Amino acid sequence: MKREDLRELGLTDEQVDAVMKQHHVELDKNSDAVDKLATIQTERDQLQEQLKERDKDLAKLQKQSKDNEEVSTQLADLKSKYDESSKQWEAEKSRMKLDVALESQLSQTNAKDTAVLKKLLNMDEIKLNDDGHLDGLQDQVTQLSKENPYLFNGPTQQGYQPVGGSTVSYPSDLQAAMKQPDFNLTKFMEQNKGD
């Protein structure tokens, strides 16, 4: 996205600056998710190497202990322990994948604070599919945006004039101006500088 492209679309410099600022915020969110994914992938690779080493050790022990009953018992205990740790590792890996996908997809919403939004989600209804997308997430985000719109950035209103923000016109007579309910001496003085 280039500033020139936005200017060609008829945006003012202020609007271009606002769009570019929002664009950089979104890029920063995405780069955080990419960094987190890289860290998780490194951890996964290390754990896979540990599992390969463990499997080699088990195979070696099985060959050495064919005749020894006590060692066979210890080997069975170790194998069950390793199987349990493998299950835990798989569960942790699945949880980490889900967390990374959730962070990535939540960063693409208009949420003001993804951590707050994440706490409001029913994680039992969200499942990670083979494509890396989360089934059930969009429905919940849509529902939350309807129920709690303050959690999301809404569209900006152009030409918005807050209540009481209009230009007040006072009569040039100070006494008459002071009788008005919204009298402001500073604005009266600014209005009547040359008088």
Instruction: Break the chain into its structural domains and give their ranges.
Output: 3-108, 110-153
Maximum distance among all alpha carbons in the chain?
Answer: 113
**Nearest of 102, 104, 92 to residue 35 by alpha carbon:** 104
Please give the average per-residue pLDDT across 136-154, as a whole number: 87
The pLDDT of residue 27 is 74
Residue 127: in which H helix or E strand, if any? strand 127-128
Backbone angles phi, psi at 113, to 5 degrees: -140, 105
Range of lowest pLDDT (20-29, 64-73, 125-134, 178-187): 64-73
**Residue 30 to residue 37: CA distance in whole angstroms:** 11
First to last CA, the chain: 52
The pLDDT of residue 23 is 80
Please give the average per-residue pLDDT across 71-91, as a whole number: 86
Per-residue pLDDT band at 134 (split at 50, 70, 90):
confident
Q: What is the pLDDT of residues 6-38, one digit of tens each?
A: 888 888 888 888 888 888 777 777 777 777 888
155, amino acid identity: P
Q: b/e map of 77-105 (b: 16 or more CB within 10 Å)?
A: eeeeeeeeeeeeeeeeeeebeeebbbbbb
pLDDT beyond 70 at 80:
yes
The pLDDT of residue 163 is 62
Please give the average per-residue pLDDT across 58-82, as a whole number: 78
pLDDT beyond 80 at 51:
yes
